[in-house]
Structure 1
């Protein structure tokens, strides 16, 4: 293994303007607290209400857990650096952060595909839903997803650890993203880039195709429904999930599928904030606002905690 001559990196953060740093710190703190509180409330509501112990809410509970972890991978470090007046992150800390970013971003992606499959079975094969989506099957889907994303993250982290970083250690970002790290390396990064384009693209693209195929089948089944009320009921059960899918893939496309000529540090930073901070914050609001059962469970839990005090 090549030994890196760089022991730490400098994260330039969100803004190079001193007058903007304090407002950005407060904004990030508020968004992070909203993300953690919102997603933990979702997990608590689902865990305590027996009526929500169904496959759809089991997957939603896992998605909320992943969103909390995803935001916690980057935001606390940004906040700590601001408070400590430091911009440094150790080489091992940078690789650890990159590992969890790879793992949790792809886990988000796969969970959205699993949830789309769940809705497909519920709407297109309702009579077989209880036999196809058993507790054991749901647990196996989630456990298998964790194994896949852990191996994926380990592959790219080990490849990054093989590289040498000779002199420049300034990362123009607020976290250790793979692209700026590859630019800083003084080693041959051809293998890393090839694996990102092949394995990395496949692990992001396959779940997207599954989501697309599921919703094509769902749309066809809904349009065949005899009554408008039946069609609306079927679509309403998918509305929240579809909104989260659009937000998630919209931000990913904005970051990675724009022409290189349109990229700038400011645009890339804004897009990164969207998918690492804003999207995990919005998910609980999207699901709770559009879901009667979840709103009922949240109100019930709030009333129970209020009266117990």
Structure 2
């Protein structure tokens, strides 16, 4: 439980939700739980492997028994590694698809069977910007595209069941601790090209969590089966440092970044933003300077 998932948990708890966070690593769960509780929020933890359908079903059952309801489900778990498709093994492909696609299905089905099928609810699946493929990450691109299609189908099939809504959030490149998982060459490349999209910057964790909160809220009650791209327009056009007719601004964005958590709310959250590489944290510091009006 880190990065975007951690941010979403904090935002929902800060808005008064009783949050249950789940993952395989209990130490990370306990750390986030402690952060939320110190700030006055409600947070329980559960250890789960989302690839195990029986385990996900038991987890949903336990949540309903303890909380009495399950209003919302946010599927943020997933993982991948960088590899050209020509070097990707069948086992590597299957592992990523099993976690990202099959795991998301297991959670959705468990929520439907265990509560939402009879009482309704809202599901948000976190995917990725996959419109034009994901070079060097074909496995996760295929899985995320599958989730987007699954989301649309579930919206159609499950909408009549007491008003279930199922939507996706597709983040583009986000300044987050998740970038620590890439090797030095990759994140140096990502950091140096951060301006090459129509917004001339990457996104923040809080900009993704804000989209999640919106889709979970009553104001989105007529939104069902959509894939909301939170990507600064990068799914429409990616710039190139040479030979590009679209002249994005290498000096930085003119569009302020929203940094609502962890350091955006009048310093209520006194937690370091990310444990990402220095170049990535430097981007966040740069974005804060143009986003002060949003705090």
- The TM-score, its normalising length taken from structure 2, stands at 0.27
Structure label with greater radius of gyration: 1
More helix by share: 1
Higher relative contact order (CA 8 A, sep 6+): 1
